[in-house]
Structure 1
């Protein structure tokens, strides 16, 4: 334990020296970004495995600390709505209720989980033209669930292909019935940035790989333990403005 603390102290000291050495050329920019998540879940040893993408919003404040002409560190605290869409593995068979009339029912479930999310990414930003920059980002991210997990179920009925009714119900889950309040993982992506005056507009896409088991209330040591992880992509549009140099 002592050796680990010594290594940690040396690493922090080295990082501090590195930041101090770059202070003269560093520039802090502040901004906002918003976009959409194409989120899903990966499940192992679960009776629910047919997850599909759920499209949901995200937005964040951006703190970009430039370390050099092409390198920066960026923190992005904000809101991120995740989850997944769940459909039955097999559609329900139609039932003939009268000659020529076929009754069918379809079901769709949407798992909704809202998070406070904090990615901290290292960025390489080479110039593609005199003004246009490429953005290559990678780093860790953590998130905390901000409310109960929700399951929205929609059931639609059809007779001879004509929709007759749609019923939507929503249930909320918390405690051991919900996914873990904490999640951590990695994110990486690419994009472009273009300055307009002092404002810099950027567009970026990323992939998000959750590493923490969201079903952490189960016994992870068992070989057949349920494991659920966040997965998905995101696309965002944002702006940054330098606030001091």
Structure 2
């Protein structure tokens, strides 16, 4: 439907353009015995001035030009229509190309900006935790690396639930912390599953998982929607 409406809008604009052009040309004939000025105007448009009659003639068989006497003929009318459509299409393409380049440029800049934010966040967290926990953190940094990889995949278009991603991260973090703190206690998968299933009751991290998950979800949904919208926009005007 949008394409049909757009096409009709273009056709209407072309018609208006041609009408104005023809009316301007025919106005030269008003009060004149010859069509010299019209021949000159037609020549400047790159059309054949020989199609212009020497004197104003009846326009009873014309579709756009006035039906009274004018310097317009059916052949000239058709040529001007084609010429007007060509010029109008060229102007539209020029405008659309500019809009498309704008969409592409802004999408690329935002994409680079947001990916840099993710990278800097990962690096900043890595440096802070390494300085605080040293080798203990380095031996388990894959938990954090997996989280940021999931976030990158989501931003890139992967279909996943970010709240579930964050929950999975804190589940793994809880298990690893429990194992490190209780390294002498023997536990099995069933015990660990019970531990994570009751995280909402135990709240080992307080309300951090919920708050952080909400903030991450809002930021990434907005960023992904925005960058995808810019990509769609560049294709629509192509």
TM-score bracket for the superposition, by shorter chain length: under 0.3
Structure with larger RCO (C-alpha < 8 A, sep 6+): 1
Bigger strand share: 1
Bigger helix share: 2
